[in-house]
Each structure stands twice: as structure tokens, then as C-alpha cells.
Amino acid sequence: MTIRPPEPRHAEAAAPLAAHEAEENAWRRRHLLDLDDFSVDELELVMSTAGAMKEVLSREVPRVPALRGTTIVTLFYENSTRTRASFELAGKVLGADVINVSASGSSVTKGESLIDTVKTLQAVGADVIVMRHNRSGAPYLAARHADCSIVNAGDGLHAHPTQALLDLLTIRNSIGDVRGKRVVIVGDVLHSRVARSNLWSLTALGAEVVVCAPPTLLPARLGDAREGDLPPVHVETSLDKAIEGADVVMALRMQLERMQGGFVPGMREYSRLYQVNAKRLARAKPGALVLHPGPMNEGVEISHEVAHGLQSRVEEQVTNGVAVRMAVLWLITRHASRGGRSAAKAAL
């Protein structure tokens, strides 16, 4: 038996990936923390790279050795099914070694700090740490102390950039350019990092974003272009009005675990006014897409029939999550391997 020597990292990138070489030089990020400072070109680059990754995933054997020799650690301080599984699969499809660390089963329970945990994982050989944390800003702290790349897989109420990227890919796959399209984001916006990241990407690409929730579930000053720390969007507290003529309806989960209580009179009252159901969806454009980041509370923010109906893109979102995370891991590790680490560190 002959043992082939390991090839240099990335040397065997698949043909569709190689086609991205030139464009990838435009990628300047070591970390992916949020989309608030993403340019249109960067969003387009992730979308086209994810398109190439979809091609890889459609092969009979969906495996390429593009990230062979790269170690990716998923470090999750909060529960997750789809985000964690899709990052893990994304790394494996690209040939990386993927290690999963849960805070509950790690030395975090013995009192180890976030910074020490990140440094330990780095010392073990992590090139990328994909991190989910219940505190907003935690990945920023990690990025300040890490030599490896940090990818934010959701931090507190703040951001969930790869979810917004996969939402964008899903929308574009069905309706193309989002410019001028009416996208209604409805539900527990206050506690939603998914909504916040989506606001940045959708408005950057010129979508008409309407945010809809009861006033108690809206971030303060949302919609105020002068004051808000989020991009300017339309705010509408009536879903029946907001959904009128929508091209896309994105329902958000009621984040009961983040609520101390008292945000809404009750779940029955909430779903009566804010549930995305067939009757309400009929007010949107014919064939309007329905998205939900999952996990869904069927019967609360979305009816069973809409969640699994013809207009639902929920499953496609999950599938696209793998391609988008492959794209992000690929772009970030290529940048780091081109010597971006020191340059990016200097920029922090």
C-alpha cells in the first residue's frame, strides 16, 4: 500500500472553486462577526462562492480536499441543531478536521474563561473557531485575543451572520435580485440576532424591509434613521398591513428562553395577531416565499400548514446553510493561509 504524502492545503480545490481564485483576493476578513460592515461586493462573493459549493454538494460523492489540513472547532455555549450540524458538515465536505466542543461538556463548567478556552483550542491547533454564545459581543472578545479565525454562529441578541447569508441565498435562488423586493420580518424581533443580521444584508442590497412585531417586541429606536444603531427600515405593528404585497415573509421564533415574561399578553393572543397563516399569507404577493430560521414553534408564530406548504422554503434554508458555511470557511481560511492573519491582526 502506498501512502500518498499530504498535499499542500487547498492545492486540490475543485474546479468551480478555482474559478473563484481571482475574486477571492477581494476577501479581506480573518473573522466573520457580523454583516453590519459588509459591502455589496462581499455579499456577492459569498453568494457566488456558495453557488460553487452547491455544485460540490450535488456531486455523487460530495467531498473535496480543499481544506485538508485545516482544523475547525465548533465551540457552542448554547444549544443548536442546524447551525452546528451544518458547520460540521461544511467543514467535513471540504476535507477539514472538525472538533465539536460544547460548553456543558468542557472546562467552561470548571470556570475556565472564554479567552482561556479560545487560547486552549488555538494551542490544540484550531485554525477556525466557530462560536455560539449567549452573550452579545462574545465572539468579538474572542477575536481580539485569538490568532486563529473566529466565526460567529450566533451571539446573544446581536448577530447571526451565516443565518442571514443562507437566508439571502435562499431568497435569491427563488426570486433573484432582492432590490426593491418587499421582505417582511415578523415576530420576536427584539430577541432575534437573525433579524438583526438580516437587516444589514437585505438593506445593503436594496430590499424594502418591513419589520413587524408588537411594540414590546421591537428594539428601541428601530426605524429611526437618525438615532438607531440598526439600518433604517419600515416598522409596522399590524401584520395584516405589513404582509400586504410582500415578496418574502420571514417568521421568527418566539424566544421564550430569552424572555423574563410580560412581553405579550399570552401565546394565544400573540398568534391571533402575528401568526403567519394561510389567511394572512393570501394578502402577500401570489407565491410569496415563507422563511423561518428554525426551530419553529408551529401553531405560535407560524401555522403548520404554511410551515410545510408550497411557499415554504424552510427546508431549503437548512440545505443552503451547508453551502453558505462552506463558502465562509473557505473564504476565511484561504485569506488566513495567504498571510492574512498578521495583516488582519494589525487591523483589529
Number of Cβ atoms within 10 Å of the Cβ of 322: 25
* Interaction of residue 293 with ligand NCD, rule CB under 6 A: yes
Binding residue for ligand NCD (CB under 6 A) from 91, 95, 139, 154?
A: 154
Q: How far apart are CA 66 and CA 93, in angstroms?
A: 9
* Residues in 240-269 at the binding interface with ligand NCD, rule: CB under 6 A: 253, 255
In the complex, the smallest distance separating the C-beta of residue 254 from ligand NCD, rounded to whole angstroms, is 8
Task: Report the first-to-last Cα separation within the chain, whole angstroms.
Answer: 48
Q: How far apart are CA 189 and CA 212, in angstroms?
A: 8
* Interaction of residue 187 with ligand NCD, rule CB under 6 A: no
Nearer to ligand NCD, 202 or 336 (CB): 202
Nearer to ligand NCD, 18 or 85 (CB): 85
* Interaction of residue 193 with ligand NCD, rule CB under 6 A: yes
* Interaction of residue 83 with ligand NCD, rule CB under 6 A: yes
**Residue 171 belongs to what H/E stretch?**
helix 161-175
* Interaction of residue 194 with ligand NCD, rule CB under 6 A: yes
Task: Provide the strand spans (E) within 134-188.
Answer: 149-155, 182-186
Q: Are 71 and 95 in contact (CB under 8 A)?
A: no
- Residue window 90-129: x/- pattern of binding to ligand NCD, with contact defined by CB under 6 A: ----------------------------------------
In the complex, the smallest distance separating the C-beta of residue 246 from ligand NCD, rounded to whole angstroms, is 20
User: 313, 321, 295: which is closest to 85 by C-alpha?
Assistant: 321
* Interaction of residue 160 with ligand NCD, rule CB under 6 A: yes
Tell me, by CB under 6 A, how many residues bind ligand NCD. Answer: 11
User: 328, 311, 312: which is closest to 197 by C-alpha?
Assistant: 328
Query: Cα–Cα–Cα angle for 198, 201, 202, nearest 5°?
Result: 80
Q: Determine if residue 95 is left, alpha or beta; phi over 0 gives left, psi from -120 to 50 gives alpha, anything else beta.
A: left
Q: How far apart are CA 181 and CA 309, in angstroms?
A: 22
User: 192, 109, 186: which is closest to 158 by C-alpha?
Assistant: 192
In the complex, the smallest distance separating the C-beta of residue 229 from ligand NCD, rounded to whole angstroms, is 19
In the complex, the smallest distance separating the C-beta of residue 328 from ligand NCD, rounded to whole angstroms, is 14
Nearer to ligand NCD, 81 or 216 (CB): 81
The residue whose Cβ lies closest to ligand NCD is: 253
User: Position of cell 401565546?
Assistant: 267
* Interaction of residue 163 with ligand NCD, rule CB under 6 A: yes
* Interaction of residue 294 with ligand NCD, rule CB under 6 A: yes
In the complex, the smallest distance separating the C-beta of residue 185 from ligand NCD, rounded to whole angstroms, is 12
Nearer to ligand NCD, 159 or 239 (CB): 159
Number of Cβ atoms within 10 Å of the Cβ of 175: 16
Residue numbers at the binding site for ligand NCD (CB under 6 A): 82-83, 154, 160, 163, 193-194, 253, 255, 293-294
